[in-house]
Amino acid sequence: MSTSGEPGERKDLRQFLDQLRRQAPDELLQTRRGVSPHFEISAILARLEASRRYPALYCPEVVGSPWPVVTNLLASRRRLALALDVAERDLNATYREREGRRLQPRLVGDGPVKEVRLRAEQVDLESFPILTHNDKDVAPYITAGAMVVRDPETGIRNLGIYRHQLMGPRKLGIHLSEASHSRLIFEKHVQRGQPMELAITVGHHPAFYLAAVSTVPFGVDEYEVAGGLLGYPLPVVKCETVNLEVPAEAEIVIEGVMPVDEREWEGPLGEVAGLYGKRLYSPVIHVTAVTMRERPIYQDIFSGHLEHQLVGSTTRLGTIYNLVRAACPTVQDVFMPPSGLCRFSCYVAIHKRREGEAKNAIMAAMAADPSIKYCVVVDDDVDIFDDEQVLRAINSRLHADRDAFVIRRAMGNPVDPTGDEERLVTKVGIDATKPLSGFPETIRVPGSDQIRLEEYF
């Protein structure tokens, strides 16, 4: 098996798809007939989802497009772990460690993403296989677009995934959320009266996408995080029409500018909580060039569904873990389960040494991430990746009157449907750890580890 950091090693979308085919073929489904990007691909995913299956989906034949589509690639922790070349149980610890490594990108002269270069007037985004996902989505949306911009004050790059509405052959909408680093950088451009240059990467290795959604502080270049996660410096090439660099091994790059004074209605789109958001009056993007591979793979993220929820939460877990660890050094791991849309609930496992420690861990987790509404702390004999075990701990170990507490009118996630007009939400902390002494012993059947069922049946 490959190890990270070997010289000459290249990790990109194609290499990762090959890795799945070799190491985990059940993680990748391939369609055997033509499929439409207009609801049909997302309908296949929704159908699989109904039976709790979340494979990556590769569609070699897409109606109206000469290019294949891959979607749902980031919808499982097993695949994210494979992307970092580790076992699933080590995903969180590995991510935390590599996020901090930070390797500066390496500027190279050429790369596969430059195989085709289209000037603005040659670009027709309407011919791209951009998916329409949910019934009331206003238009096709690029959902796996990692947008890079540069801070005009410091020159430092910022990378993040934003939703991009198809508005015309050379025009895209965007939701630049208030809390995002790109919004802050756009506001600096507005103050200077200077249009913001940008480049959107579509299609790359999952480690690149994890870097794009990492929650590193403002002023940290996410390309350096990508290097840490990949295990070698991210090779980048200069853009054609904007003063930015993009990954040399990307599938497609869309270059453009965002004027400071132009706004249009954008949305609705099925969003992370599985609900439609409001229409927003937002800046627009004018495309100035596209560079891509000869026959690129168009990558999509299944907006509003598990893939969308999971990819954004995996990186947040690092931030939450680090803060909880400051409050409670025996924290084992933290998890935001899909049952809480990977945002609203957080489970924390600790090896409790003192009464009350769990409540401090809850306060730390809630301070680390405003999205968390329900935080449950359990002992380390409970598997926090299994909702049923956490519920069992609540049912068998909790005295709600003294072990649970309510926080009224706290800041929540902007997409939380329970938020009031000021977006304030009610939060609940639950200490479901057992008391340090006097709690009955857990039953065990001796010898079950040694039983080999094939010897009996």
Cα distances from 289 to residues 51, 173, 199, 240, 454, in angstroms, run: 42, 16, 9, 7, 61
Cβ-based nearer residue to Mn ion, 211 or 252: 211
For the record, the structure tokens of 256 come out as: 């453009």
Query: Residue 163, interface with Mn ion (CB under 5 A)?
Result: no
Q: Where are the beta strands (DSSP E) in 133-174?
A: 141-142, 145-150, 157-161, 164-168, 171-173
- Which range, of 36-44, 57-65, 151-159, 328-336, touches Mn ion by CB under 5 A? 151-159
Cβ-based nearer residue to Mn ion, 132 or 158: 158
Query: Residue 158, interface with Mn ion (CB under 5 A)?
Result: yes
- Which range, of 146-154, 157-165, 244-252, 351-359, touches Mn ion by CB under 5 A? 157-165
Under a CB-based contact definition with an 8 Å cutoff, are residues 163 and 143 in contact?
Answer: yes
Query: Residue 316, interface with Mn ion (CB under 5 A)?
Result: no
What is the smallest separation between the CB atom of 214 and Mn ion, expressed in angstroms? Answer: 8
Cβ-based nearer residue to Mn ion, 158 or 303: 158
Nearest of 126, 164, 171 to residue 147 by alpha carbon: 164
What is the smallest separation between the CB atom of 320 and Mn ion, expressed in angstroms? Answer: 18
- Which range, of 175-183, 334-342, 388-396, 444-452, touches Mn ion by CB under 5 A? 175-183
Q: Which helix (H) or strand (E) holds 307?
A: helix 306-327
Angstrom distance (rounded) from CA 398 to CA 319: 27
What is the smallest separation between the CB atom of 92 and Mn ion, expressed in angstroms? Answer: 21
Q: How big is the site for Mn ion, counted in residues (CB under 5 A)?
A: 2
The one-letter code for the residue type at 315 is T
Cα distances from 301 to residues 38, 190, 209, 361, in angstroms, run: 14, 30, 11, 33
Angstrom distance (rounded) from CA 203 to CA 223: 15
Under a CB-based contact definition with an 8 Å cutoff, are residues 134 and 277 in contact?
Answer: no
Cβ-based nearer residue to Mn ion, 71 or 158: 158
Cβ-based nearer residue to Mn ion, 150 or 164: 150
Angstrom distance (rounded) from CA 285 to CA 198: 9
Angstrom distance (rounded) from CA 274 to CA 272: 5
* Out of 79, 133, 157, 181, the residue judged to bind Mn ion by CB under 5 A: 181
DSSP labels, 192-217: HT-PEEEEEEES--HHHHHHHT--PP
How many CB atoms are closer than 10 A to CB 224? 21
- Which range, of 46-54, 79-87, 122-130, 180-188, touches Mn ion by CB under 5 A? 180-188
Query: Residue 157, interface with Mn ion (CB under 5 A)?
Result: no
What is the smallest separation between the CB atom of 217 and Mn ion, expressed in angstroms? Answer: 8
Query: Residue 71, interface with Mn ion (CB under 5 A)?
Result: no
What is the smallest separation between the CB atom of 81 and Mn ion, expressed in angstroms? Answer: 24
Cβ-based nearer residue to Mn ion, 158 or 291: 158
- Which range, of 127-135, 158-166, 266-274, 430-438, touches Mn ion by CB under 5 A? 158-166
What is the smallest separation between the CB atom of 181 and Mn ion, expressed in angstroms? Answer: 4
What is the smallest separation between the CB atom of 221 and Mn ion, expressed in angstroms? Answer: 8
- Which range, of 15-23, 150-158, 307-315, 360-368, touches Mn ion by CB under 5 A? 150-158
What is the smallest separation between the CB atom of 149 and Mn ion, expressed in angstroms? Answer: 10
Q: Which helix (H) or strand (E) holds 407?
A: strand 404-411
Cβ-based nearer residue to Mn ion, 79 or 181: 181
Under a CB-based contact definition with an 8 Å cutoff, are residues 41 and 70 in contact?
Answer: no
What is the smallest separation between the CB atom of 155 and Mn ion, expressed in angstroms? Answer: 14
Where do contacts with Mn ion occur on this chain (CB under 5 A)? Answer: 158, 181
